[in-house]
Homo-oligomer: A and B are copies of this chain.
Amino acid sequence: MPKIVAERSDAIPSLAEVFREYGFEGASLSTITEKTGLGKGSLYHFFPGGKEEMATAALGEIDEWFVTQVFEPLRNADDPRSAISDMFRSVSRYFRSGSRVCLVGAFALDNVRDRFRAQVRDYFAEWCGALASALTRAGCPEPDAAALAEETVVAVQGALVVARALDEPEVFERTLQRVQSRLLAAISGEEQR
């Protein structure tokens, strides 16, 4: 019988994809074994905590991706304006132009939110905070920066919901364009509102 030695970390992206596609309850161990290619034995060898640990690992990797690809650039970039543009590019790519769903957002709506409360909250709090930081450094006054950041994150999540509901991924790209130009306008000397 074939024996392909796998690593724990190799399985995590597949796990994230399965949870994204089926939700936490909907992702049964049989579908997980199928999509990851790992048998129950291997799965429980790598994740002794079962489904919960698998989901935690998936959330962790997603968070890590956003931290390095989005949050840290927003916080540390020399040019906050281009960091913001990069954010929209990264986000569009990550969510496959609206045809992929946000696992964290889906968990937030689900009743399993309580089990992953800290990870779910941190993801959104960090996103809002990092974006507000970039806006502030780009010259946006403090309170407006926080409001604009919140508005942007809200728009991204809402666009994912509506795009998927209507089967129209374009909703996502349209929304991204709209909020991006609103952000850039707000930090272009003239104030919004």
Contacts and interface: CB of A to CB of B under 8 A. Distances in A.
A104 B159 contact: no
Interface of A is mostly: helix
A164 interface: yes
Interface string A103-115: 0111011111100
Contact of A108 (B25, B121, B164): B164
A159 B158 contact: yes
Interface of A: 21-23, 25-26, 101, 104-106, 108-113, 117, 120-121, 123-125, 147, 150-151, 153-162, 164-167, 171, 174-175, 178
A167 B123 CA distance: 13
B109 A161 contact: yes
Among A21, A156, A158, A175, which residue has the most Cβ atoms of chain B within 10 A? A158
